[in-house]
Structure 1
Amino acid sequence: MTTHPAPTVHDVRHEETGEGQPTTGLDAFAVCALSGAYSAVAEARRFTAAILEGWGVCAPVVSDAVLVVSELTGNALRHAAPRGPDAAESRPDLVCAAWLALAHQEAGVLCAVSDSSRAVPALAAPDLMAEEGRGLWIIDRLSESWGWTRPDHTGKTVWAQLPVPRPTR
């Protein structure tokens, strides 16, 4: 199921509890800066597996999340990261090529990759004979919902929500 575009972080309002403390609904949150090197995809996979296993997320969800993060990161690096010898001069404001964020919520795991591109992802029917082009299709099939934030001068965030089964008693 695809849901897009999502509100930006600045558009989201948090409800107040009776004590005046903001309620975010997050059980845990982790973030990782990703370089523009293609090794960043492997780094993102390792980071995701380590964080989710540490949070006690069940193995099937960890496997799905690792694959989703791999696709999100690969897309960000392929389509948004500056390349070539002049890349640093063209975008000196970039600290890293992309950011990976993971959030554990009661409803599931949210995986999000932010990059500097304003181009939005486009889900197309996969060419089964092609060597690439199935990333968003994989994300669409493995996630409960996915989408992106409205692009602005800093870029966009593409996200996917994976359900976490509730423990049986």
Structure 2
Amino acid sequence: MTDWPYHTDLPLAAMADAPYWARRHIEDILPKWGAGSLVMNAQLVATELVTNGVKHSGGSMELPNVVTTGGRAVPAKSVFPKKGEGVSVRLSLSYGEGRLLIEVWDKSETPPAEQLPDFVSESGRGLFVVSAFCEKWGWYLAEGGGKVVWAEVAA
């Protein structure tokens, strides 16, 4: 399918909370498109793709240490990149005819590599999970640099 009647782009800072904001965006937009039944699978697939995008863009998936100051929990140090040093990923969603296309751009041109997960590794399951919850997935080099990893979810 090349014509998608619904489309949205969401730029995300390549930080540990990027998957959270991707999930919130999906939760908000898909019901408005009449695709509410796809929310849970789309959130799972997008979480894996965005997490990989953050890692491959040089971002960090580590949450900052938190200290309590005046009864409020605050990061022990700034979690925001300095001006001009920020890296990002971009989530794009396209929907039509009962199909949702999830695309995540990151600055790396390294191809994604699906691994067979084992029981002891803490990582390496992302694309295995993606392939289990979508019809098909793939990737391509993006114009201007980086790559796009995509997955298609059917209703």
Give the alignment's TM-score, normalised by structure 1: 0.72
Classify the secondary structure of the residue corresponding to 1:159: strand
Letter in 1 for 2:19: V
Q: 2:41 aligns with which of 64, 89, 92?
A: 64
Q: 1:34 aligns with which of 2, 5, 12?
A: 12
2:133 corresponding residue in structure 1: 142
Give, in whole Å, the separation in 1 of the partners of 2:82 and 2:2. Answer: 36
Q: 1:81 aligns with which of 58, 74, 85?
A: 58
Classify the secondary structure of the residue corresponding to 1:26: coil
Classify the secondary structure of the residue corresponding to 1:160: strand
Pairing 1:47–2:15 present: no
Letter in 2 for 1:118: E
Structure 2 unaligned spans of 5+: 61-78
Q: Which has the higher strand share?
A: 2
Task: Give the percent of matched residue pairs that are identical in Structure 1 and Structure 2.
Answer: 32
Do the aligned partners of 1:119 and 1:151 also contact (CA within 8 Å) in 2?
Answer: no
Can you list the C-alpha shifts for 1:114-158, whole angstroms capped at 9, x where unaligned?
011011100111112222211000001111010001356510100
Change (3 A) 1:95 1:29: farther
Q: Alignment RMSD, CA only?
A: 2.4
Question: How far apart are 1:58 and its partner, in Å?
Answer: 3.7
Give, in whole Å, the separation in 1 of the partners of 2:115 and 2:132. Answer: 13
Structure 1 unaligned spans of 5+: 1-22, 165-169
Give, in whole Å, the separation in 1 of the partners of 2:111 and 2:138. Answer: 9
Extract structure 1 runs of 4+ deviating beyond 3 A: none
Report the number of matched residues.
Answer: 136
